[in-house]
Structure 1
Amino acid sequence: MNTSVITDAMNKDFVLAVEGLTVSFDGFKAVNDLSFYVDENEIRVIIGPNGAGKTTVLDLICGRTKATTGSIRFKDRELTKMKEHEIVRAGVGRKFQNPSIYEDLTVFENLEISYPKGRSVPGALTFRRDAAVKERVQEIAETIFLADQLDQRAEYLSHGQKQWLEIGMLLIQDPELLMLDEPVAGMSVSERKKTAELLNTIIKNRSVIVIEHDMKFVEDIAHKVTVLHQGKILSEGSMAKVQADPKVIEVYLGH
């Protein structure tokens, strides 16, 4: 573990502090003594070759995979001791690679069903489509470029619009940390540009971690880039810094 990095970090409050994180699968260390820190209102992009451990890091943060050793602190809460649903309630949202939406429901209904009051059993039983719900759905729909599609069934949306809808379903829960796994995969150029615009808008109230392979998109959004290789940090810093790093060029960008 890089003790100098951790010593520097002790003097600052972070939204997320990952320290000494390791997970082993049958002796193979998919993530190996990993430490990094995410600021408030930061877009952190994690890049690296296939098998570098990128998605596993998100799995560890959201509780889908349990760490072998190490710490994950979110707003001073230790996530490694919490269950997946507890981590969601604490304010961590996760979007997987493929859109997970209700295709037979409208855009409005997809957003409404994700509204926080409706997610618990008592809340669902007493849930009403009141003015506050409608206003919040409208606000999110405008943010994700779907204000004109509220009555459209989700199955008829384009691939990019489905990705935005799922991001909206997370945003309506108002997470303080949003994690997105390859959000622009399969999108058109114009959709990628609008997704960059979307992410640069929503960080006014939260931090975002993105896994991505599209380097142009990374340039458009990243405040800081972390390059993983074999479960460890190969390089970290601005996009310009990691692009110029000979190690990164050798194991990732050069291919």
Structure 2
Amino acid sequence: MNEHAIGGITSNRPVLAIEGLTVSFDGFKAVDNLNLYVDRNEVRVVIGPNGAGKTTVLDLICGKTAATSGSIQFKDIELTKMKEHEIVRAGVGRKFQTPSIYESLTVFENLEMSFPRGRKVFGALTFERTADVVERVERVAAEIFLSELLHQQADLLSHGQKQWLEIGMLLMQEPELLMLDEPVAGMSVSEREKTAELLGRISQGRSVVVIEHDMEFVKSIAHKVTVLHQGKILAEGSMESVQANPKVIEVYLGH
């Protein structure tokens, strides 16, 4: 039975529902009884001081770190019981702070490598550059502003273009939840503006969770902002309400 057949009931449920999530490292709670809900087509930005637990939350969602307790449900699938590769296959994509692209390959080849058929070792050996692969590579390259550079070697791209390429490699897998850790760090002003435009576009049909320190950028992309402090939610809401919150000013924005 598909989603639409049930009167759109599923579309009202959050794509990501985190409840009671805790992780302790030697008695220190890096994430402490966290509840977080992200809707379909939403860009959620998570902000907070260093050590607030922001990256740890992404590590928990993608299976890099195991939860001590609590639940992470992605479209009714419990992620805490799954391995990293299974979580990727379920439709969760993650971009780390440093771009991890294949520098010696072209933009086209980097995107092609990320096509789901190309991922498994056996699949890679028998991988054929069929029309559907070429079509998807060209479509994604257009989305990430790299159409003109498809045959350029990746190490010749600017820092910002490498960040876009890595986002494109995730888009090749058509994830329904995309997580980005500081995607505009080190970018020029014009690259930041284009990245904001890109995130606005790619959130149509999927949910995006972003960790970011650049408040101007946050303002330009966030549908909702979650402020973490010491592994707990300090405040949540629109950028305006969060910026005006006295607790947030005290622990974070005041610095």
TM-score range, shorter chain: over 0.9
Q: List gaps (5 residues or longer) in structure 2.
A: 1-11
Following superposition, the deviation at residue 67 of structure 1 comes to 0.4
- Asked if residue 20 in structure 1 is aligned to residue 20 in structure 2, the reply is yes
Secondary structure of the structure 2 residue equivalent to 1:94: strand
Structural mapping, 1:99-114, within 5 Å: 99-114=99-114
Give the match's secondary structure for 1:127. Answer: coil
Identity %: 77
1:126 deviation in Å? 2.3
For residues 190-201 of structure 1, what are the structure 2 equivalents within 5 Å?
A: 190-201=190-201
The structural deviation recorded for 1:178 is 0.2
Match of 1:178, SS state, is strand
Residue equivalent to 2:225: 225
In structure 2, distance between residues paired with 1:131 and 1:153: 22
What SS does the corresponding residue of 2:217 show, helix, strand or coil?
A: helix
- 1:213-252 alignment, distance < 5 Å: 213-252=213-252
1:14 CA drift (Å): 1.0
> What amino acid is the match of 2:82?
M
How many angstroms does 1:120 deviate by?
Answer: 1.5
Deviation at 1:209, TM superposition (A): 0.1
- Deviations along 1:202-236, one digit per CA (max 9) or x if unpaired, are 11121000000000000000000000000000000
Equivalences for residues 106-185 of structure 1 within 5 A:
106-185=106-185
Tell me how far 1:157 sits from its aligned partner: 0.3
Give the partner amino acid of 1:72.
I
- 3-state SS, counterpart of residue 129 of structure 2: coil
Question: Unpaired runs of 5+ in structure 1?
Answer: 1-11
- Shift in Å, 1:130: 1.4
Normalised to the residue count of structure 2, the TM-score between the two structures is 0.95
Q: Considering only aligned residues, what root-mean-square deviation do their CA atoms show, in Å?
A: 1.2
CA distance in 2, matches of 1:86, 1:131: 27
1:45 partnered with 2:45: yes
Distance 2:110 2:205 in 1: 22
The CA deviation at 1:132 is 1.1
C-alpha deviations, 1:74-95, integer Å up to 9, x for none? 0000000000000000000000
Amino acid at match of 2:188: S
Count of residue correspondences? 246
Q: CA deviation at 1:109?
A: 0.4
Which residue identity does 1:227 align to in structure 2?
V
- Deviation per residue, 1:44-92 (Å, 9 max, x gap): 0000000000000000000000000000000000000000000000000
Equivalent residues in 2 for 1:61-100, closer than 5 Å: 61-100=61-100
* Distance of 1:101 and 1:193 partners within structure 2: 22
SS in 2 for 1:73: strand
Report the Cα distance in structure 1 between the residues aligned to 2:42 and 2:13, rounded to whole angstroms. 13
Query: CA separation in 2, counterparts of 1:205 and 1:117?
Result: 22
In the aligned structure 2, how far is the partner of 1:25 from the partner of 1:163?
Answer: 31
Letter in 2 for 1:140: V
Instruction: Tell me which stretches of 4 or more aligned residues in structure 1 moved more than 6 Å.
Output: none
The superposition leaves residues 18-51 of structure 1 with CA deviations (integer Å, 9 ceiling, x where unpaired) of 0000000000000000001000000000000000
Provide TM-score, normalisation by structure 1.
0.95
